[in-house]
Structure 1
Amino acid sequence: MEPFSSHWRMAKGELSQALKESLVVIDSSVLLDLYRVTPIARKEMIESLLTVKENIWVPHQVALEFHRNRVEAARDQLAFYDETCKSLETAQNQALQRLNEFANRSALDGNEKKRLKEPLEDAFRAAIDRVKSHQGVFDLTISRVLNDDPVLRALAELLDGRVGQPLPEDDYVKAQAEAAHRRDNRIPPGYKDRAKRTNPDGDYLWWEQTLIKAADVRKPVLIISNDEKEDWVNKRLDFSLGPREELVEEIRRRADVALRIVNFATFLESVKVGTAVSVSRETLSQANIARRQSEKRSRRIIVSRAVVESFEEFAVRALEGRGQELSESMARQAKAADDPDMKELLDTEVARHQDAIEMYQRWLQQLREAVSRASRLKDDLVIHLEDDALRRTLLKRVYEAREGGADNP
């Protein structure tokens, strides 16, 4: 059944045995999530990893990405509390606005309006105060991560002598070319990162390093990763099953070993059942939340107000220009009513302008809503955008602003 491992999940007993027999490869998504949980959960997670210390191995690329992103990972959690409070405040303002409209249309006097709004204001105030109190449980600050990082210290002990070497320069250049080829042709892993401006080769690089290590040790490979994008795992009805068939075949061809992939929460559950290490329900819950948040974090952008304002100005100008072009095309369309061929061409042109106008209107609305819910990091805004095209376009402006580039996307 092993050749079909892409299509079924490992049972708990199988996972416990695999952890004893396999090269256990940890992805940076797991290491960075240690910065996004409470101190108690972090302690239990690290103790769980220590149970398989003898089999753990980390590709050089994973270690590199961890060091590059660990400060930002801590900042993620700090921003999360601010974002939550901001979202609650926005919801409160919207609810109060609706109550004000109701009170005015119902001709309520001042005292009745106050009695109507007070329970809502009290409830939101209590919720926001509770969120802020929980923020005090989180023990990491940017200063502590920079100067006395407890996660870094724990991982230094866990991974001492268990981090791979970088690829030689010639092999690295070849791997970069292969990564680009795979992105262009949707060959896993890594093609889901084709829109990334930074480190688009990362997934393939650490996969290549893992293939080399697997061929050397000739042991089954078990990857623990919270990256559950479709270029890594096989999904059915949005449920992750096993690794992509292409990855199973590639590692068998290159190293003649089996491959499995599990997320960190699944690993923790196995440790809880199979060892004496304590893994609380709260820790499992935080691991699952961190896993689900990984995709959401990928849609987050840290942007300055200047970039937002510049983009809005661009979108407004684009709307005005497209509106003028639409008017001109519709005027020509009316004159060409007796010419079927010309009318068909103009119909297409009109539809193209209308689509563009709808897109810019949608982008402006989504951006303004995202900004209204944004939290702040010093002078920047932390916003979430679901529209991939809008997100890529705004990211392009962010990078151009950093590099002093062009004004328009």
Structure 2
Amino acid sequence: MNGLYDGEFAGYKIASPAELDTALREAVVAVDANVLLDLYRFSPRTSSDLINTFKSLGDRLVVPHQALREFWRHRQRAQGSPRGATKTATDALAKAARSMNDTLGIWAKAVGFNQGDLAGLTGEVNALVSSLQEKLQQVLAHADADRVGDPILEQLEELLRGRVTSPLADEEHASCVAEAGRRIAAEIPPGYKDAGKQEDGSADGGAGDYLVWYQATRYAQEHQRDLLIVTRDEKEDWWWRQGAEFIGPRPELSLEFQSLTGRRLFLLRPTDLLARASVLEVDVDEESSADAGRLSSYLEELEGVRPATWTLEELAVLLVELDAHAPPQAAALRLATSGPVVRCSEVSALGDDPEGTVLVTFVRPCDRLTATLKEQGLLHPALPKIFRFSRREGVWCFVVPEEVPALLRTLAAN
């Protein structure tokens, strides 16, 4: 006879606060890439508190090799995130000022308002917006002053010395990538929410989350300990959620880990970890947990609510860079004026041949320039790739986002 949590039901056991505290004191604690990257996005105080919390874990701290790989892949973008966010905010304020001034102008004509008095009103709008923009720049400058050089990298070098798992052998890595593909197709956690990354041209495609999971679970198995994963990822392929409440790991993940190791799995977000830091006898500022929670909410909103669409201004900026540094890619992009799908044969007619293995490398200049412009704050960080490659009706094609052809026609008309 079995009990409530025996056999296939083991994954449904919800961790109590006391069990979470015990896990913090005893389990292997694996840190995901997004947490390391967020150290650049948090306030200096919050970053310091989180690093001190990690230090208190001693040799129980581990970073899966795949997580560190993703950290280096995206570090510059995260480092530039505060500047990008500030530029986005200042640009939005300028746009709001123009909108208010236009509205006042239309109103003034409708009611016969004196143009001299109108100038006074628009002057008040412009003065307010300029003051707000200046304050945003002051906040950014203050944060930058606290981070002369790269103190985050300096602290991570010391913190992670000897704490990163070894890379997988080529055969084992290939096997994991294949398993990740199978899971994505069957919607088996973790990582199936990253299905869109399978065609992004990277070596791992959509396998990143599964590789982190595989390396963390094997490390915990080798050390015969429970596993606590700290991640800012809030998607349903990691978390068992009820509305806005994070109950714990997906039951499938808990069951898989229990079947593999006989141990328990726990998940915490950075905001939760900081709230429980006293368990590790670490003093953190009471605002640090709230700061981490605010960033998580902002990034979730950015990824899930704001439509990730190109604007006319952003496309124009990218085309200027492509014309200067990657003319073949600029010419190929302009072929999308009539529709979002461009056949490789059309690009070949321009004098380039992106067939076969060159197909992946042809889009890389676009990816590099887009990433650089995002780091500089000239493009919104949530924008999708300008080019994806896909096979349509047996023919290799380049595909641009749906909104791009109309924007290209507008640019051409101007």
Task: Please list every run of 5 or more consecutive structure 2 residues that lacks an aligned counterpart in the other structure.
Answer: 323-328, 341-371, 391-395, 401-414
C-alpha change, 1:212 and 1:8, in structure 2 (3 Å) is closer
**Is the 2:177–2:207 Cα contact (8 Å) retained in structure 1?**
yes
Corresponding position of 1:116: 121
C-alpha separation between the residues in 2 aligned to 1:158 and 1:49?
8
- Structure 1 partner of 2:158: 157
- Cα deviation code 1:284-334 (max 9, x no counterpart): 232112222334565598865328998997776349xxxxxxxxxxxxxxx
**Equivalent pair of 1:60/1:163 in contact (CA under 8 Å):** yes
1:317 aligns with 2:335: no
| Aligned residue number for residue 367 of structure 2 | none
User: Does 132-141 or 184-193 show the bigger shift?
Assistant: 132-141
Alpha-carbon displacement from aligned partner over 1:149-168 (angstroms, at most 9, x marks no partner):
32122112212221111122
Counterpart of 1:210 in structure 2 is: 216
Equivalent-residue separation in structure 1 for 2:251 and 2:375 (angstroms)? 45
- Taking the aligned partners of 1:222 and 1:140, their CA distance within structure 2 comes to 34
Pick from 261, 267, 273: which aligns with 2:273? 267
Aligned partners of 2:28 and 2:227 also within 8 Å: yes
Superposition map of 1:4-403 within 5 A: 10=15, 12-139=17-144, 148-196=149-197, 197=200, 198=202, 199=204, 200-271=206-277, 273-274=278-279, 276-295=281-300, 298=303, 304-306=317-319, 317-318=338-339, 381-383=378-380, 391=384, 394-396=386-388
Question: Does the 8 A contact of 2:84 with 2:376 survive in 1?
Answer: no
**RMSD of aligned alpha carbons:** 3.4
Flag the 1:136–1:28 CA change in 2: closer, same or farther, 3 A: same
Q: 1:380 to 1:89 in 2, by over 3 A?
A: closer
**If each structure's helix is expressed as a fraction of its own residues, which one has the higher value?**
1
Structure 1 Cα separation of the partners of residues 146 and 309 of structure 2:
20
Identify if the C-alpha distance between structure 1 residues 50 and 208 changes in structure 2 by more than 3 Å, giving closer, same or farther.
Answer: same
Q: Is the 8 A contact 1:233 1:243 kept in 2?
A: yes
Q: Structure 2 counterpart of 1:210, which letter?
A: A
Higher mean displacement: 273-282 or 243-252: 273-282
TM-score in terms of structure 2 length: 0.72
Match of 2:356 in 1: none
CA distance in 1 between counterparts of 2:157 and 2:373 reads 32
Q: Residue 280 of structure 1: CA displacement?
A: 2.0
Shift of 1:250: 0.8
| AA of the residue aligned to 1:52 | L
How far apart, in 1, do the equivalents of 2:196 and 2:35 lie?
22
Quickly say closer, same or farther: Cα 1:311–1:114, change in 2 above 3 A: farther
Distance of aligned partners of 1:170 and 1:49 in 2 relative to their CA distance in 1, 3 Å threshold: same
**Cα distance 1:81–1:300, how it changes in 2: closer, same or farther (>3 A)?**
farther
Number of matched residues?
338
Aligned-residue identity in percent? 25
